Amino acid sequence: MMERHKALHSLSHDHHHGLILAQLIKKGSPQYKNLPNTTEGKKDYSIRFYNYKLIKHFEDEEKILFPVVNGKNDEIDNLIEEIIIEHKKIKLLINQLESDEDVESTLDELGRILESHIRKEERDLFMKIQAILTKDELTTLEKQLIGTRQL
């Protein structure tokens, strides 16, 4: 497995936290220290996580990362299309949590989508992006992503 280029570290760091959330909210998940263990708590935590972490993360991907690689490779373009659709699906599920009767099922679905979404980006998209971008492109990308983190 290829090591993650540091240009993508901030996004991978977010993914780590996203995976913990995904595990936390799936049905039958174990309890996590210092994380909510009631359905209501998990719902609130998911909504907060989305508002304070995921929106920003999705924007970094859609406005900074994707434009850099768009059109360079059909496989990457197809993955990006799928990923943007998943971003919208995640947003819909978060909105659904606000009004849903069956919060547990929605949390479970959100956890499953989030997990497979993150794995797709980590194992597939990021590997392909690292393989096709030049050193200079990766360095520029790194600066742009770090720049958004310092606002």
* Residue of 110 and 31 predicted with greater confidence: 110
Is residue 3 scored above 80 in pLDDT? Answer: no
pTM: 0.92
Question: What is the DSSP code string of 50-119?
Answer: IIIIIHHHHHIIIIIIHHHHTTS-HHHHHHHHHHHHHHHHHHHHHHHHHH-S-HHHHHHHHHHHHHHHHH
* Structure confidence at residue 150 as a pLDDT band (50, 70, 90): low
For 133-146, letters b (16+ CB in 10 Å) and e give beeeebeebbebbe
Domains of the chain, by residue range, sit at: 38-149
Q: Coil, strand, or helix at residue 134?
A: coil
